[in-house]
Structure 1
Amino acid sequence: MNVSIKISDSIYYVGVNDRDTQLFEGLWPLERGVSYNSYLILDEKTALIDTVKEWKVTEFFDKIRHLLNGKPLDYLIINHMEPDHSGAIPELLQKFPNLKIVGNRTTFQFIENLYKVKDNFHEIKDGESLNLGKHNLKFYLTPMVHWPETMVTYDETDKILFSGDAFGGFGTLDGGIFDDEVKIDFFEDEIRRYFSNIVGKFSPMVQRALNKLNEANIDIKIIASTHGPIWRKNPERIYSLYDKWSKYETEEGVVIAYGSMYGNTEEMADYVARKLAEEGIKKIKIMNVSKTHISYIINEIWRYKGLILGSSTYNQGLFPYMESLVQWLSHTNIKNHVLGIFGTYGWSGGGVSTIVKYNEQMKWPLVAEPVEARLSAKEEDFKKLSELAKAMAKEIKLA
């Protein structure tokens, strides 16, 4: 049975949920799944905005057929070419051979390379429009948010911004699809996890895209992304969060991420956390890099000003899971954080010094000299850890 969900009088939600995929992009855990959102406009000319992942096409096509009720599908608008949004293109062209694919020049380069499609293209440029009858769609190119071809589509009639991956996040839409129908705090956290791990590296481009929309002075009543809830009650909330995150604005708090083989480095992490609490820091997250997936750690790091990394030495180098974390942090180029470092070593160092070397790329201010204990922390080491905690608390309180 097809349940038609209206976004407005003539625009429908035709997205699907994915509760089977374990890792998004083969990297990011989907413990609560993900939605692939697509939208159908019924007008004098019909238009589908984005598609879904290839193995969800049966459910997807059932929804489209039901709503079209024999009418042709005239346009497919592609805001983003990642296969979880473009995977249905080959089958759509088989079922609707006269379908025109709307996109920019880079979109068509991706289509040709991914799906060997070379025809049925309707190219648009930045700021151009497409009239469907009652609805007039205007397109804004937003390159590198987070692929080169990305763009957004604005319906001038119903004032809906179809934003592609921008403003989207993890989590299936279980019954409710609008921000006023779901537990929005959960989605906000998963949207930040999505942003911090996938889009965050391109924060300057996000700022450029937001500035472009601001300068266009468009009136946005609804934000409809390709993942996560549709923001009809409070689109300003997700818009302002994207602005905050892409400016690297942080909250007062500290993430302590540690890698420990036998508990000695963990003991140091617990001690630092206690000293931070004594200094009045209430938001403290201790995260074990061996147990907690890196995406959740990065999500919390993006949120809080302070980061303290603690690692044991492993084979004269950095504990492997910790190295994955600091390597990703240096790759992502996160700004506006302060750093503390501690660790342990046995017969040789290598753990703490490797973090220091990575930080030469990251260029985060160190709140204190790194603390490194031989095998386990002694009284002198705990004193240094206490000083590190005091310095961190002072630094993030001043922020």
Structure 2
Amino acid sequence: MHCTREVTKDIIWVGGNDRRLALFENLFPIPDGVSYNSYVILDEKTAVMDTVDASITRQFIENVEHALGGRKLDYLVINHMEPDHCATIGELLRIHPELTLVGNEKTFRLISQFYDIDMEGRTLAVKEGDTLCLGKHTLHFVFAPMVHWPEVMMAYEESEKILFAADAFGSFGAHNGALFSDEVADAKAELPEMRRYYGNIVGKYGPQVQAVLKKAAGLDIAVICPLHGLIWRGDFGWVLEAYDKWSKYEPEEKSVVVFYASMYGDTQNAAEILAGMLAQEGVKGIRVYDVSKTHVSYLISEVFRCSHLVMAAPTYNNGLYPAMENLLTDMAALNLQNRTVGLIANGSWAPQSGKIMDAKLSAMKNMRVLDGTVTLRSSLKEEQTEELAALCRQIVESL
């Protein structure tokens, strides 16, 4: 049985949800599942805009066939050749052997790497700025390399002012009935999962996202159709603003996130006391995380949110506690920059964690590490509370 929605009279959503998948890319927790968006355009020629993950093949095919209503399928436009959007290319070709695959040279190279599909005489290669006329609808192709794969492109439909945005402007989470941003009570409630999706999936490629945003600024966009998450219509200027900040590595908020690693609670104690001091000084939006307990994807999201970080960790085997080292490694891999950081180090006989954290942060771009690392010898002593207070003052003054 089909489950489709009209984006407009001639553009039909034919995607679906996977609520069973636990890890996106077998890496990122998705407790609320994930959506896969695909679209059919009905005109003199018909087109499907991207396909879906193998997990929802049956639903997708039923949706496409219902939307086509017995018509043949002329084109499959492949904006992004990642398997969660391309696993059903072969099935569509089996049902509609007459269809033409639309992509760029890198798209077709990736298809041949992933799948054994005979593409001879079945492809239409497009370049930046090319168009595809379907009748009343014309697709303009806007290339978006490394957002977040090298073959990525977007398609702008000029008559209805719709941007098919590939993986940009997407989010974790399955649809809960509502498909459009103006159908949910508060679209901005989606922001944390949008940020976590952006930061971990696309975050490394800020300059490339900036390049695409500049291209998009020249388009009159009424609707954004991403491959995951809500379809954006109505007031979505704040979504573009968020992408602009994230891709410039500018924080959303002037606030503090405290990350701690602690084996026996002593490093945690110092981190908790500092968080309380910051709150007493009027800092809003503080969050405190145990890096051993919280998946790193949520921690990365908070780095994108906050202007100031506190990192508190013990020495471990004369090195840095592994969970904190993992966070710092991920931050470096994602090109994170432009933050102010305070440090709390611990070590019972040879404290090294402060020096290691400082070195790793200093290797990142525009990371300001505050003076006066608070170094504990096993536990916080009463006479060291002034050191914490001094670190608190530095953070507050720099906010």
The interval holding the TM-score normalised by the smaller chain is over 0.9
Task: Give the AA of the match of 1:116.
Answer: D
Amino acid at match of 2:274: V
Structure 2 residue 389 is matched with structure 1 residue 389: no
Partner of 2:359: 357
- Please give the per-residue CA displacement for 1:37-80, whole angstroms capped at 9, x wherever unaligned: 00000111100001100121111000111121221111001111
| Length-normalised TM-score, structure 2 | 0.96
Distance 2:4 2:331 in 1: 43
Whether the 8 Å CA contact 1:220–1:235 is kept in 2: the answer is no
Is 1:290 aligned to residue 292 of structure 2?
A: yes
Moved more, 177-186 or 79-88: 177-186
Conservation of the 8 A alpha-carbon contact between 2:142 and 2:153: yes
Alignment correspondent of 1:42: 42
Aligned residue for 2:233, secondary structure, equals coil
Checking the alignment, whether the CA contact within 8 Å between 1:367 and 1:395 is kept in structure 2 is no
What is the aligned partner in structure 2 of residue 212 from structure 1? 215
Question: What is the correspondence of 1:1-399 to structure 2 with a 5 Å cutoff?
Answer: 1-117=1-117, 118-119=119-120, 120-182=122-184, 183-214=186-217, 217-250=218-251, 251-363=253-365, 364-396=367-399
2:216 and 2:180 map into 1 onto residues whose CA distance is 22
Local SS of the residue matching 1:305: strand
Q: Is the 8 A contact 1:51 1:88 kept in 2?
A: yes
C-alpha separation in 2, matches of 1:391 and 1:278: 14
1:380 & 1:294 partners in 2: Cα distance?
34
Return the alpha-carbon distance in structure 1 between the equivalents of residues 88 and 181 of structure 2: 27
Any unmatched runs of 5+ in structure 2?
none
Output the amino acid matched with 2:279.
A
Instruction: Give the number of aligned pairs.
Output: 394
Superposed CA deviations along residues 309-336 of structure 1, whole A, max 9, x for unmatched, are 0001122211111111011111111122
Distance, in Å, in 2 between the alignment partners of 1:82 and 1:62 is 22
Q: CA deviation at 1:366?
A: 1.2
SS at structure 1 position matched to 2:196: helix
Mapped contact 2:340–2:369 kept (Cα < 8 A)? yes
Q: Call closer, same or farther: CA 1:333–1:4 in 2, change over 3 Å.
A: closer
The amino acid across from 2:374 in the alignment is: V
Residue 293 of structure 1 and its aligned partner are, at CA, apart by 0.9
Q: d(CA) in 2 for partners of 1:332 and 1:151? A: 22
- Asked whether the equivalents of residues 162 and 222 of structure 2 are also in contact (C-alpha less than 8 Å), the reply is yes
**1:262 Cα deviation after fit:** 0.5
The one-letter code of the counterpart of 1:266 is: Q
**Alpha-carbon distance in structure 1 between the residues aligned to 2:52 and 2:71:** 21
Task: Kindly report the root-mean-square deviation, in angstroms, between the aligned alpha carbons of the 2 structures.
Answer: 1.2
Q: Distance in 2 between matches of 1:72 and 1:332?
A: 43
Counterpart contact for 2:77–2:101, Cα < 8 Å? yes
CA distance in structure 1 between the partners assigned to 2:66 and 2:242 by the alignment: 36
CA distance in 2, matches of 1:291, 1:341: 20
Amino acid paired to 1:231: W
Distance 2:35 2:9 in 1: 23
Length-normalised TM-score, structure 1: 0.96
Q: Is the contact made by 1:345 and 1:351 (CA closer than 8 Å) also made in structure 2? A: yes
For 2:123 and 2:274, the matched residues in 1 are separated by: 59
* Matches of 2:145 and 2:188, distance apart in 1: 29
The SS at the match of 1:362 is coil
Shift of 1:134: 1.1
* 3-state SS of paired residue (2:181): coil
Partners of 2:18 and 2:135 in 1: how far apart?
34
